[in-house]
Structures are given as structure tokens and as C-alpha cells.
Amino acid sequence: MDRDSMDGAVKVPSKEHGTALDAAGSPLYQRIAQTLQAEIEAGMFAVGSMLPTESELCARFDVSRHTIRDALRVLGELGMVSRRRGSGTLIAAGAPTTRYVQAMRSLEELTQYAHDTQYEIQRLERVAITADVALLIPAPVDSTWMRLEGIRWRPHSAEPICATAVFVHLRFAEHLHDVASAEGPVYDLIERRSGERIAEVVQEISAEPLPRFAARALGLRTGAPSLRFVRRYIDDSGSTMLTSMNWHPAEHFVYRMRLKRDG
């Protein structure tokens, strides 16, 4: 990221609708958050001081108040700012904290999470599904699937977010030959190359001890507490195309959900 200036890269007319994108197709709020993060880390805004007001930031980046609020939300999730209604935005830390906050409400936000983080694939192999994994995918015991192992990282952070194992149906094996170097999330790669469509994602969250591979990848002891996210990517017929399993260190992770009344 160019820390000298990103203003020119993110300016667009202020009458955007929905999630505004920059010239590269990335959400503007994310690029603005990265710019402000770099400026805070460089000391342009001291810890304990206030960020410019929303109106000032809207004028600077030539975007809507909604986009600025989304950018400030990202900084808040990094632990770098604290926002209070009527009091402005306080600089709380000069760098992201080690606690990772995840919040998702739609397939689009899940896709954006995958684009905003990096999945480092360390292993790809064919495996026979064991009984414990068969229930999670779900798949018949001893059926053959492709298995990817790796670590997910947040940009500009030395702390891994989670250890991840992805089980991909064998019919997609031919599409994984360059998966370690391909851009974008694994499920997006499979959709694009196979022409098959993911209709829905079913997510389950549970408290689980770290398995050996995840503990080794995260530099923790086997059996340490973690939050395990299992996501099943399902096609229009109701069959599982792939399933991801993500282990987050319990002390470094927060999952946030916002609920609103209908009507």
C-alpha cells in the first residue's frame, strides 16, 4: 500500500449508491480505511486525539457519509479507533490490536472477507474422509475429497487470523491445479472454472480444541481452546460443493452480529 497518499485513488462522485467501488473494483470504504490506518500508524494522528469529523472526511475523500462510517467501522474492528455518538472518533491505538473481529450478514460480505484477507495454502492432497470429518462436510465415510490446509492472514499483520482446512468435492479436482497461486477465495475459483453456482452457505460455530495441524500452524499447543467455523457451500440441488473449517484462537477472536427488528 502506498503510504504517501491514496486520496487520488479513491475519489469518486459523492452520490454513490450501495457499496461504492474504486477503479480496481474494491469497496471504497476499505481503501479509505487502509489510508487512515496507514496515517495513524505513521503518527499523523496521535493516540488520544480525534480523527477529523465525518463531514471533513466526506469532503476529503469525496464520498458519502455512509462510506465514511463503513471505513470507521473497519478501524473500530481493528481496535484503532473508538466511536461515540456526538463525541467524534477517538484514536485508541497506533496499530491494530491482535484481536480479530469478524462480522458478516450476507454472501457478499463473506466474499469481501475472503478478498480482504489472504489464504496461504500450505498443502493440497486427496484424502479419504474419516468418520469425524464426514459428519461436518457431510460426506460418506471413506469417500475421496480434495483437502487444502493453510493459514489465513490479515494484511499488514504478523498474527494469523485462523488455520483453515477446505474439503472440495472430487469433481472439482481439475480446477485446483494452481489454487495456491490463484487470486480470490477457493469457492469463487471453483464457481468461475466449473460454471456451477453456490446457492447458499450454511455456517456453524462451536467451541473446539485445536487439532494438531491447526495448533502447529498457529504456533499454539494442541488442544488449546478455539472457535471453529464450519461453512458448507451448497449448490442449487442441495449438495455440498466444498466445506471449509476455520479454527480461531479463542483469546484473539470476536464474532459480531447485528440484529434489527423487521418492519
**How confident is the model over 119-148, as pLDDT tens digits?**
899 999 999 999 999 999 999 999 999 999
**Higher local confidence (pLDDT), 34 or 10:** 34
Give the phi and the psi of residue 17 in degrees, each rounded to 5.
-120, 145
**Higher local confidence (pLDDT), 99 or 158:** 158
pTM score of the predicted model: 0.60
pLDDT at residue 7 greater than cutoff 90: no
Q: How far is 218 from 100, CA to CA, in rounded Å?
A: 14
**What mean pLDDT value characterizes the chain?**
82
pLDDT at residue 5 greater than cutoff 50: no
Kindly report which listed range (47-51, 67-71, 221-225) carries the lowest average pLDDT score: 47-51
**Higher local confidence (pLDDT), 84 or 165:** 165
**Percent of the chain having pLDDT more than 70?**
77
pLDDT at residue 2 greater than cutoff 50: no
Domains and CATH numbers, the chain: 7-91 (1.10.10.10), 100-255 (3.40.1410.10)
**How confident is the model over 87-120, as pLDDT tens digits?**
788 888 888 765 544 544 556 666 555 666 788 9
**Higher local confidence (pLDDT), 159 or 3:** 159
Segment 223-228 shows an average pLDDT of: 94
Residue 15 has what pLDDT?
39
